[in-house]
Amino acid sequence: MKSHPRKKAKWEEEKREDRVKWRQLEHKGPYFAPPYEPLPDGVCFFYDGKPMRLSVKAEEVATFYGRMLDHEYTTKEVFRKNFFNDWRKEMTVEEREVIKSLDKCDFTEIHRYFVDKAAARKVLTREEKQKLKEEAENLQQEFGYCILDGHREKIGNFKTEPPGLFRGRGDHPKMGMLKRRVMPEDVVINCSRDSKIPKPPAGHQWKEVRSDNTVMWLAAWTESIQNSIKYVMLNPCSKLKGEKAWQKFETARRLRGFVDEIRSQYQADWKSQEMKTRQRAVALYFIDKLAGCCSLRVEHVQLHPEADGCQHVVEFDFLGKDSIRYYNRVPVEKPVYKNLQLFMKNKDPQDDIFDRLTTTSLNKHLHELMDGLTAKVFRTYNASVTLQEQLRALTRAEDSIAAKILSYNRANRAVAILCNHQRATSSTFEKSMQNLQTKIQVKKEQVAEARAELRKARAEHKAQGDGKSRSVLEKKRRLLEKLQEQLAWLSVQATDKEENKQVALSTSKLNYLDPRISIAWCKRFRVPVEKIYSKTQRERFAWALAMAGEDFEF
């Protein structure tokens, strides 16, 4: 029998040179936020109790604050101060002469106007909703796709962010500042030289048009708050993104062949005569166990000879990315603890712990240990290995689907704890748990009733023995099985919800766990992949679905 070669998936096609990301790239450019629509005449801003008509620019910024009037942000002093400073910059000279205190500003009518608009959207007719859906789809078709190396690929974020007030995460010092409107003159377009260059909106021009096939972005601009560059990128399910994700996890898999030697070396270096080598060795230990450390200062760390029943405990407490507090207590190896004491000795709180080390020198050393090795590769490796080991330990083939899902989420939870992916308990947690417990109680009553009905049907069939009574008996048995399955799912949800109320599972699941581990587990234990990954996530991990058999090992 003649065999036909398997058609290659997009991510398995002929590879380009390492630095070359594409040969052909054509797109329509980003879709810009629509222009501001002034408030209707009947909606007023008040200052010091008197109505005041604002200039268009000042009014637009006022609406950003008015929309948020019932939000906690508008009670924060930093937010209010930053907003007022930036708002005054948008005012006319005459407006600045009048408006000098935020406390005298009344945005109530503006707020009510947007609340009413939101309420009106909720009661749109089916036809109106369908029209909006079609408009969004038309926009997606026009701006949401590009041509990349002959493939029509979906773009991830084809819209520029609308102007508004910056919120930030945690207690960000820039919260309340004005996020300015992105204009075509701010945007750099990236496409192939022989492609049809996207047209800017009428009356505008692009900042620059370039053809750089060593990068993956289609358009870029610098945002006004933190001067960071924003990009229009491909959708995670695209060929290029799938290829990049595959390569990322393959790099992490390669670490398995190096990790024992790397660990032995950095452990030996804890006793080095050279301070720089010692600091690098402890830094590598933290990268391996905690994924990062280079910028730690003395004030960020407290050392405890004993805490929480463990010896040699390091307490971390500092503001990390996006001003989010990172707090963790970690027991460490005794030589690591002793070295930290040495590194911190005779230093001021503001001094660096790893003062002999730079990010550049550490990254260079990582690449010398293994080509492509980074702190993120370590994190990905440790997370994926932990998931695989936990799944192997927790899953039983004879368990129900619901019990297997619970085991999967517990394995995922172990990874999230390893990666310190914490979250605050939701303000709606107690209420949603009460609702879930109510559903469980109702379902238990339904199961008890169905069980009684089944006993009755069984007795009637025993007495009558005819086809009709047998049919009723089977119907009652199927109903009981269905209700018991529903009860099991509800119980799993309740357990899951309680165990994970302060743990964020999705970050590690989508970014640090090789999806082939989860897909192989699903195939091995006959768990529908849809129970683990949503439709969007399955599209994102299409490459893994195509590759992973039930015997895949990370």
CATH architecture of 273-359: Alpha-Beta Complex (3.90)
Which residues, at least 6 apart from 356, have a Cβ–Cβ distance to it below 8 Å?
A: 275, 276, 279
- Strand stretches in 332-427, DSSP E: none
Residue 328 phi, psi (nearest 5): -160, 140
Among the listed residues 141, 236, 156, the one whose alpha carbon sits nearest the alpha carbon of residue 538: 236
Q: Which amino acid is at 65?
A: Y
Q: Is the pLDDT of residue 206 over 90?
A: yes
CA angle 228, 229, 230 (to 5 degrees): 115
Which long-range CB contacts under 8 A does 360-366 form with residues at least 24 apart? 361/280, 362/280, 362/283, 362/284, 362/294, 365/280, 365/284, 366/287
* Pair 384, 511: CB distance under 8 Å: no
Q: How many CB atoms neighbour CB 140 within 10 A?
A: 14
Averaged pLDDT of the chain: 89
CATH number for 383-547 (one of 1.10.132.10, 1.10.8.350, 1.10.10.10, 3.40.50.720): it is 1.10.132.10
Among the listed residues 194, 209, 204, the one whose alpha carbon sits nearest the alpha carbon of residue 219: 209
Q: Is the pLDDT of residue 10 over 60?
A: no
The neighbouring-strand residues paired with 331 are 313
Among the listed residues 343, 474, 476, 499, the one whose alpha carbon sits nearest the alpha carbon of residue 412: 499
DSSP 8-state class, residue 185: G
Q: Is the pLDDT of residue 18 over 70?
A: no
CA 69 to CA 331: how far, in whole Å? 45
pLDDT in tens, 54-87: 999 999 999 999 999 999 899 999 999 999 999 9
* Cα separation of the two ends of the chain: 34
Confidence of residue 108 (pLDDT cuts 50, 70, 90): very high
pLDDT in tens, 284-342: 999 998 866 668 899 999 999 998 889 999 998 887 666 667 788 889 999 999 999 99
The mean-pLDDT minimum among 31-40, 59-68, 100-109, 358-367 falls in 358-367
* Pair 54, 65: CB distance under 8 Å: no
Q: Which amino acid is at 10?
A: K
At residue 506, the pLDDT reads 75
pLDDT in tens, 511-543: 899 999 999 999 999 999 999 999 989 988 989
| Domain spans of the chain, in order of start | 20-34+142-235, 45-122, 273-359, 383-547
Q: Please state, for a pLDDT cut of 70, what percent of the chain lies above it.
A: 93
Grouping H, G, I as helix, E, B as strand and the rest as coil, residue 46 is: strand
Counting Cα atoms < 13 Å in the Cβ hemisphere of 290 gives 19
CA 308 to CA 165: how far, in whole Å? 43
pLDDT in tens, 242-264: 888 999 999 999 999 999 999 99
- Which residues are annotated as catalytic? 512
Among the listed residues 325, 307, 305, 309, the one whose alpha carbon sits nearest the alpha carbon of residue 317: 325
CA 219 to CA 182: how far, in whole Å? 12
CATH number for 20-34+142-235 (one of 2.120.10.80, 3.30.2180.10, 3.90.25.10, 2.170.11.10): it is 2.170.11.10
Q: How many CB atoms neighbour CB 175 within 10 A?
A: 22
Which pair of tokens denotes residue 74?
Answer: 């508008």
- Strand stretches in 98-156, DSSP E: 105-106, 145-148, 151-154
CATH architecture of 45-122: Orthogonal Bundle (1.10)
pLDDT in tens, 144-176: 999 999 989 999 899 999 999 999 877 789 999
Confidence of residue 16 (pLDDT cuts 50, 70, 90): low
pLDDT in tens, 362-390: 889 999 999 999 989 998 999 999 999 99
At residue 6, the pLDDT reads 44
Phi-psi region of 513 (alpha: psi -120 to 50; beta: other; left: phi over 0): beta
Which long-range CB contacts under 8 A does 134-138 form with residues at least 24 apart? none
